[in-house]
Chains A and B, each alone.
Chain A
Amino acid sequence: MNNSRFARTAGWLALPCLVAAGLLAWYVTREPATPFSASDSANAALVSRGEYVARLSDCVACHSLPGKAPFAGGLEMATPLGAIHATNITADREHGIGAYSLADFDRAVRQGVAPGGRRLYPAMPYPSYAKLSDDDVRALYAFFMKGVQPAAEANIPSSIPWPLNLRWPIALWNGLFAPTTAYAQKPDQDPLWNRGAYIVQGPGHCGSCHTPRGLAFNEKALDESGAPFLAGALLDGWYAPSLRQDHNTGLGRWSEAEIVQFLKTGRNRHAVVYGSMTEAFNNSTQFMSDDDLSAIARYLKALPGEPRRDGAPWQYQATAAAPDAPGAHTYATRCASCHGADGKGQAEWMPPLAGATSMLAAENASAINITLNGSQRIVAAGVPDAYRMPAFREQLSDREIAEVLSFARSAWGNQGGAVQAKAVGELRGHTDPASSSPIILHMR
């Protein structure tokens, strides 16, 4: 009797307990509400893809300043006519591109035309970005709209005076020099070559520095169909060397694996990044996938050299040190600890000067500039470099620098030729941070 009443009471109690347990189980394992729908996962992938395209394109190099919000603009570019400043390309609706539609964005990136028909200056490398695929432009737009924090940073107006600041003539320049179609696959080449050609000509905009420019500041060639394409050019006080198969001044002695290593780690047994390439490495090339770097290497190795421009092929020659030769003593005391008395450098950490492009090219701006001002910090995979070229601006006179470079450019089989003290003095003035005549975008 007692037992059956107990069982009945227990039965009535068990029911609410079961319900409560069920509710608890639901509550602790439920998926909370989110404003995002399932289809947004595709958007996340698109934003991430766009971030990679922005790395390939190195947008950050001009549109960001150290210590400021990313892509808020501000980099000053001096031109012979006055200064222009890279603009805010965050999604801020007032100062940035937050009000841009995808079509507006595309017109700016690939055609150099802002909303309202205002032409951009070709300091923005839209003649290269014109080659971007539709998919990459869409991804890039998604990244800037959703992957970048909007920054209310006002743009800085250019200081170019009227009437030189009229933009409409640029439309005519575009008609002559800027391509209007995206990269077209070359069916007679393999996919790796095509991918490399796409990155080099399009987002990578390698030709902006490495291709010589004509009278109208136009790149003399925009793809492999033109012999001047990536044949080397003077820009910003640096000589961007040939990326073609030139034995001396190009990549003729580099293997595909060495090109990949250089773009991935900033160094290989031939060279270490310096000058403007340090920024391209720090911000762009090291973030490229191994497949893309292999594609770039494959494409560059397919660009033939030009022996008439390049000169007799360099070969190492042991140089008996004549301590009384001008420059030899400076070399022994200032340079040899790192670059070696034999000019061969130290593995991939300190670059050789024997056979180096800067010691073989007739253009000596890079050799002078790096000696005066040293190298910038190379940051590979988040780790700063252990060894850096010091600046000799304060320690060596124009004549001493001219002598030591003349020595190095004629030792070990190098054939770059003598450097004049006057050339050192000019570059010293242009690259002096306190100078009133700062380096200008020569283009040529």
Chain B
Amino acid sequence: MELRINQQTYQVEADADTPLLWVIRDDLGLTGTKYGCGLAQCGACSVLVDGNVVRACVTPVAGVVGREVTTIEAIEADAVGKRVVAAWVEHQVAQCGYCQSGQVMAATALLKHTPKPSTEQIDAAMVNLCRCGTYNAIHAAVHELAQGENA
């Protein structure tokens, strides 16, 4: 099947129900997206599909044929994603870093849909788990981003 990932076209041989995460990590070698729980609970595997955040571990690959997938590798090609990464660096969010590609994808999806989200909207969207407990740093970075481009 033919997949569009990060503006490139890939030919992939996989069963229809293979999780998208396995294809992008094992078949295509895009290992920035992480495997966490495999149950859509933690968010480490978050990617964007047509601009919406999805958990790649529970996304059958057949379901994204004909759609545009964005992974952490290409997030800085997106204007919003570039701002998010810059804020993450400025706030030194990452500790071990394992969950952070998923956190960045979640924040990018939120800001693409809602450029200036309210606190409630941020709380509703930023639900990925972080074992290091970097929630305060994530909170600070997203709230700064929520004030808009000039903040």
A→B interface (CB under 8 Å): 323-324, 329, 332-334, 337-338, 346-347, 349-350, 386-388, 390
Q: Which B residues are closer than 8 A to A by beta carbons?
A: 17-19, 39-41, 54-55, 58-60, 62-63, 120-121, 124, 127
In the complex, the answer to whether A338 meets B40 with C-beta atoms within 8 Å is yes
Inter-chain CA distance A334–B42, complex, in Å, is 10
User: Is the CB–CB distance between B124 and A349 below 8 Å?
Assistant: no
Selected from A329, A347, A387, A390, the residue in CB contact (under 8 A) with B124 is A329
On whether the beta carbons of A323 and B40 are closer than 8 Å, the reply is no
Known: A347-B63, A386-B19, A390-B39. A337 touches B58 (CB 8 A): yes
**With A338-B58, A349-B60, A387-B58: A324-B120 Cβ-Cβ less than 8 Å:** yes
Distance in Å: Cβ of B28 to nearest Cβ of chain A? 18
A323–B62 Cα gap in the complex (Å)?
A: 30
Q: List B contacts of A388 (CB < 8 A).
A: 39
Q: How far is the CB of A392 from chain B (nearest CB, A)?
A: 10
- Nearest B residue (CB) for A391: B39
Say yes or no: B60 contacts A390, CB within 8 Å.
no
Residue in B17, B120, B127 whose CB lies within 8 Å of A387: B17
Choice from A333, A346, A386 contacting B63 with Cβ under 8 Å: A346
- List 6 additional contacts besides A337-B54, A347-B60, A388-B39; criterion CB under 8 Å: A329-B124, A346-B59, A349-B17, A386-B17, A386-B60, A387-B19
Closest residue of B by beta carbon distance from A333: B127
Residue among A323, A324, A334, A386 having the largest count of chain B Cβ atoms under 10 Å:
A386
Of B17, B55, B127, chain A has the most CB atoms within 10 Å of the CB of B17
Contacts of B127 in A (CB 8 A): 333
Please, how many angstroms separate the alpha-carbon atoms of A350 and B59 in the complex?
A: 9
The residues of A that contact B19 with a CB separation of less than 8 Å are 386-387
Which A residues are CB-close (under 8 A) to B58?
Answer: 337-338, 350, 387
Closest approach, in angstroms, between the C-beta of B49 and any C-beta of chain A? 11
Report how far A347 CA is from B127 CA in the complex, Å.
25
10 examples of A-B residue contacts, CB within 8 angstroms: A323-B120, A323-B121, A332-B124, A333-B127, A334-B41, A338-B40, A347-B60, A347-B63, A386-B17, A387-B19
Contact A346:B55 (CB < 8 A) given known A337-B40, A386-B17, A387-B17? no
Cα A387 to Cα B120 with chains together (Å):
31
A323 close to B124 (CB less than 8 A):
yes
Interfacial chain B residues near A350, Cβ < 8 Å: 58, 60
Cβ–Cβ < 8 Å partners of A386 in chain B: 17-19, 60
Kindly report which residue of chain A lies nearest to residue B46, judged by CB atoms: A337
Task: Return A97 CB to nearest CB of chain B, in Å.
Answer: 41
- Chain B residue nearest to A267 in the complex (CB): B17
Q: How far is the CA of A338 from the CA of B121 in the complex (A)?
A: 21
Residues B60 and A346 in contact, CB atoms below 8 Å apart: yes
Minimum C-beta distance from A269 to chain B (A): 12
- Residue ID in chain B nearest A324 by CB atoms: B120
Q: With a CB–CB cut-off of 8 A, which chain A residues contact B121?
A: 323
User: In the assembled complex, how far is the CB of residue B47 from the closest CB belonging to chain A, in whole angstroms?
Assistant: 12
Q: Which residue of A lies closest to B22 (CB)?
A: A386
CA distance A27 to B55 in the complex (A): 68
Interfacial chain B residues near A390, Cβ < 8 Å: 39-41
Q: How far is the CB of B18 from chain A (nearest CB, A)?
A: 7
Chain A residues within 8 Å of B60, by CB: 346-347, 349-350, 386-387
CA A390 to CA B40, docked complex, whole Å: 9
The answer to whether B55 touches A337 (Cβ under 8 A) is yes
Q: Identify which of A334, A337, A349, A388 gathers the most chain B CB atoms within 10 Å of its CB.
A: A337
In the complex, what residue of chain A is closest to B39 when comparing beta carbons?
Answer: A390
CB neighbours of A337 from chain B (8 A): 40, 54-55, 58
**Please, how many angstroms separate the alpha-carbon atoms of A337 and B21 in the complex?**
14
Expressed in whole angstroms, the Cα–Cα distance for A324 and B54 within the complex equals 22
> A379 to chain B: closest CB distance in Å?
14
- Find the residue from B40, B59, B62 having the highest chain A CB count within 10 A: B40
